[in-house]
Structure 1
Amino acid sequence: MLEQLTGSEDPHPIYEQVRARGPLVRDNGVWVTADHAMCNKILRDRRFGVRYTDGTYPGMSGLLPESFLETDPPDHTRLRRLAAPAFSPKKIDEYRTRVEKVAESLLHDDEFDLIADFAAPLPIAVISELLGIPDSDTGDFADYGRLIAASFDQPMTPEMHLAAEKVGALFERLIAERRARPGDDVISSLVAAEAERKLTAKELMGTLVLLLIAGFETTVNLIGNGVRALLDHPAQWALFKANPDMAPDVVEEVLRWAPPVHLTNRIAHEQVDLVGADQEITLLLGAANRDPRVFPEPHRFDVLRVQQPEHLAFSSGVHYCLGATLARMEGDVAFRALARKMPDLRQAGPATFRDSVVIRGLRSFPVSRS
């Protein structure tokens, strides 16, 4: 059943078939769940991890250096703690003015592609500043990040390998510069941690690549999916424009209704109920976010919805998205800016979608301000 997800613009009919079979089912030899309670339970259960019990990782290897996303405690805890200060609430508040200025500067054309001209440049400007990427490198940086992210669930291409090499070379150059002249950016703080033997050179590189992809991909798809949802629901768009302080509520409903990441996997480290040690479970987060036992009328986009319990767009448990607060703030700023500067925004051409099962979003979305 899950093989049908490839090439499907709307995966929810398939998700509903999975849900109808029960909270935890076998599909072509793979355990899978579309149940919110089951997903949340597994994500929070320390008896599950992202690696097999022998320490190997089930995903691809060789293209990217491993990051804390691919590790279990205690390594995950150690590496995440080193990156966390850059995403503290205080730091996020400091970034907001910069994000607002970037958003304003990007909204000047009468017709434009929402993804290429707004949703992508906004987060890449922020993550570039956070990491201390020079302005001259940000354009290539965004292109490389997009190609690397595509490698999550697509066959490797020469372009993807080249992008990984280019990103590695860029970070190696910046690491060398920070060793010679430390600053107050994330790279400098991680370089200092490496000097204190708190992480290895390989872990340093893996952490930086993860921050690039996570900081970019989550937000560009949050913005793209959100604007499409608002324009497809004119009453919701009108309600928001009349009440711009509802932006945080809009962000949460977009994350529930059309999350950037639709699935993740966990591996049992011991016998757990029906699942034996080293058996893998696919958690359909996009389906869990529309579980009717949790969210009334789950397929209805409603910015007034009470988000209780919380959706799983940012996962849960120890792997809860480190950049969640940053992504929420960027989405808040982006939606407010569009509502204020382009209240008559409309779709101006056919949208195209990413060919991805894991990361769901738009490839292009032509819009017009009137």
Structure 2
Amino acid sequence: MWVTTSHPLTGKILRDRRFGVRVADGSYPGNGSLLPESFLELDPPDHTRLRRLATPAFSPKKIDEYRARVEKVAGALLDRDEFDLIADFAAPLPISVISDLLGVPDEDTAEFADYGALVAASFDTGVTAEMADANDKVLALFDRLIAQRRRTPGDDVISSLVAAEAEKKLTAQEMLGTLVLLLVAGFETTVNLIGNATRALLDHPAQWQLFQAHPEIAPAVVEETLRWASPVQLTSRVAHERVDRIGEDEWVTLLIGAANRDPEVYPEPHKFDVMRVHKPEHLAFSSGIHYCLGATLARMEGDVALRALARRMPGLRQTGPATFRDSVVIRGLKSLPVSRF
């Protein structure tokens, strides 16, 4: 196995079109995860075609329209004294937003947090019976919503993809894979971003006090968290042709977490510093044609969530042990008990 740890080399491979996600015969070995096939597992031209259909929903203009809703949801979720930061705040916030964006009714979102965690776990362990059952329920939900939108279109992502299917721009299976990918990617990274950022701030009181005094640096806190505790720690690419010593169809594991702490790029890389200048940009959202489609949404939600915590809970403190997700691929918290006093 080839492995990269340096920031320059990892970034170069992610942008190099000689590398992709499928071997020469077009097959995708996969990793036994729950996710149905989506453009995440496709090379051009299919990747380009499907990603283009989903892109308008995640444009900066569209994300700006959601900011007021995110602020309202964040405020409502923080109307409490003692709570689990993950289960009661970091998870419900992005789930509410991505459900609204996709067009999923509120009453159908209850199981999404558990589903996201199960999908993440399947990257490491393969699919268990519990995971398969959860997957069946989510696929059935999307089948029902797709059928409804075929009868009565709305102003949401499901409706836009149904219209694209009618125009033969994608198949029914491709639409289902795209929706499940957007659902999971739309909240899984953000949950871990909010949780990792909050824990980092509480573990670094001087940084927390600086942020409270200057909430306008929220975007900088988000970027440093993404670098310092990348929600996705690794990804893989396969060589489509021989590249230096890497042979055709040989896989490269890209250690994003290591690249984002490359001492040749970031001075004192293990130090959490919200005033750090991020040049070059971290690789938490990947790079190249597979750059995270939901990056703008995740950044906005992280910004709003952290500002809300700083404003509403200046005395925020941890009240119990933090527990981490049992995962190699995902870096995130399972639980973080906190109190506003």
What TM-score, normalized by structure 2, do the two folds share? 0.99
The equivalences for 1:246-325 within 5 A come to: 246-325=217-296
Q: Percent of counterpart pairs with the same letter? A: 76
Comparing 340-349 with 138-147, greater Cα deviation is found at: 138-147
Alignment of 1:359 with 2:330, yes or no, is yes
Helix, strand or coil at the partner of 1:64: coil
**Which of 150, 157, 172 lines up with 1:179 in the alignment?**
150
- Separation of aligned partners in 2, 1:283 and 1:253: 20
8 A Cα contact 1:144 1:166, kept in partner: no
| 1:204 Cα offset (Å) | 0.2
Q: How far apart, in 1, do the equivalents of 2:137 and 2:49 lie?
A: 27
Give the corresponding residue for 1:78. 49
Q: Where does 1:38-187 land on structure 2 (aligned, <5 Å)?
A: 38-60=9-31, 63-187=34-158
Q: Which residue of 2 aligns with 1:209?
A: 180
What displacement does 1:143 show? 2.3
The question of whether the paired residues in 2 share the 8 Å contact of 1:146 and 1:213 is answered with: no
Structure 1, unmatched stretches of 5+, are 1-29
Which residue among 224, 232, 247 is the counterpart of 2:203? 232
Corresponding residue number in structure 1 for 2:312: 341
Preserved CA contact (<8 Å) 2:32 2:126: no
Q: 2:301 aligns with which of 310, 326, 330?
A: 330
Contact 2:230 2:257 (C-alpha < 8 Å) held by counterparts: yes
Give the TM-score of the pair, scaled to structure 1: 0.91
Given that residues 120 and 220 in structure 1 are in contact (C-alpha distance below 8 angstroms), is that contact kept between their aligned partners in structure 2? yes
**Offset at residue 277 of structure 1 (A):** 0.1
Q: Deviations over 1:37-77 (max 9, x none)?
A: 11000000000001111111121358432000000011101
| Paired residue secondary structure (2:238) | strand
Secondary structure at the aligned position of 2:125 is classed as coil
Verify the 8 A CA contact 1:145 1:163 in the aligned structure 2.
no
| RMSD across aligned positions (CA) | 0.9
Letter in 1 for 2:238: I
CA offsets per residue over residues 98-124 of structure 1, 9 Å max, x none? 000000000022110000000000000
Instruction: State the alpha-carbon separation in 2 of the partners of residues 42 and 55 from structure 1.
Output: 19
What code does the residue aligned with 1:166 have?
A: K
1:149 is displaced (CA, Å) by: 2.8
Between Structure 1 and Structure 2, how many residues are aligned?
A: 341
Matches within 5 A, 1:190-205: 190-205=161-176
Following the alignment from structure 2 to structure 1, what is the Cα–Cα distance between the partners of residues 174 and 199?
37
